[in-house]
Amino acid sequence: MEMNVPPRIPVTILTGYLGSGKTTLLNRILREQHGNRIAVIENEFGEAGIDNEILVQERDEQIVVMNNGCICCTVRGDLARLLGDLDSKRRAGSLDFERVVIETTGLADPAPVAQTFFMHMDVARAFALDGIVTLVDAKHADAQLDRGSEAQEQIGFADRLLISKTDLVAEADVEALSYRLARINPRARQLRAHFGQVAVEQVLDIGGFGIDAVLEIAPDFLEARTVRHDDAVGSFVFRDARPFDPQRLDLFMRLLTQQYGGDLLRYKGVLNVHGKECRVVFQGVHMVMGAQEGKPWAPGEARGSTMVFIGRKLPQRVFEEGLRYCLIDDAPPSGTDAPA
């Protein structure tokens, strides 16, 4: 007899430097009649307010039901516990939501929030991490990226980048910023978000952590430009047609995460693994890594591996040489791509 397993609730992590527009976007999600029942988890209510709303609970956290059916929560304790409480109330029928958006603070590293969905089994059974969305202030981004690593790391973690305040700078400056962001993180799609006016669908269901997600690499991020920045956070792409030896690769990736996990922000790949008739999709955040089987290789389809590493001053040559050692030499290599 089969048990009906309820679908997991998709979760979006929203991050961005101070003043980038997260509050504006969140208020729009909480107020607009967009037809989505979303639980928004914030560190504090900020400007949202609770006038004419329904206070459901007041304990360590407050849970407020908004007029459009969305839910606003404040987290002051443990995120995993709050998610567990929300799931319990959803199953009991006292709260009704179909998605979760979690806001981080302006200086926060989103990694611990993302790792919650890998490390807590109860959370992983009820919720599925969909993606990390980072807001970028077009007027102040260059100074923020130059000044500190937090802004660069938030870019590196992103599956999608929403560029705000583009009306305050020249178009040429926006294009230069876009190129800089692509060099830091070539896999994150970029969109413009004027005063939070971005379709909710562009924030949700982006598949950043989905096993069948396609690696979207900005096609021109390797092109030479006159504007150059020596950012601490950068990226490189490894490609090869030869199959990986699974035992060698597993050992090497474990060694990599032990040695460089603190500097590895996001890494992800679609792999051609010896003995597997399907793609193997892997991804990780810092030291937490996982892999799953993806789509089968079609008959006659050219097989190959593509891996993207985003992190802080990563030793690209060490990574490439180690990965080549893990390959089975029965096909000519297709080479690697990396920024100059």
> Is there a contact between 20 and 164 (Cβ–Cβ < 8 Å)?
yes
Give the domain 9-202 fold.
Rossmann fold (3.40.50)
10-residue averages of pLDDT along the chain (340 residues) = 66 87 81 83 54 45 71 77 90 90 77 85 91 92 83 89 91 93 89 78 82 55 51 88 95 93 89 93 85 88 91 92 91 45
Question: What's the pLDDT at 333?
Answer: 45
Q: What are the extents of the domains in the chain?
A: 9-202, 233-337
Which DSSP category does 166 fall into? G
> Is there a contact between 217 and 264 (Cβ–Cβ < 8 Å)?
no
Question: What's the pLDDT at 56?
Answer: 46
| Burial class (CB within 10 angstroms; exposed 0-12, middle 13-18, buried 19+) of 71 | buried
Question: What's the pLDDT at 1?
Answer: 39
Return d(Cα 80, Cα 290) in angstroms, integer. Answer: 19
Number of neighbouring beta carbons within 10 Å of residue 232? 15
Return the closest-CA partner of residue 56 out of 28, 97, 113, 16.
97
Beta bridge pairs of residue 197 = 194
Give the domain 233-337 fold.
Hypothetical Protein Yjia; Chain: A;domain 2 (3.30.1220)
Q: HSE on the CB side for 200, CA within 13 Å?
A: 18
Question: What's the pLDDT at 217?
Answer: 60
Compute the radius of gyration of the chain from its Cα atoms.
21
Distances (CA, A) of 197 to 112, 159, 164, 193, 201: 28, 19, 9, 5, 12
Both tokens assigned to 301: 């389809």
Return d(Cα 308, Cα 217) in angstroms, integer. Answer: 9
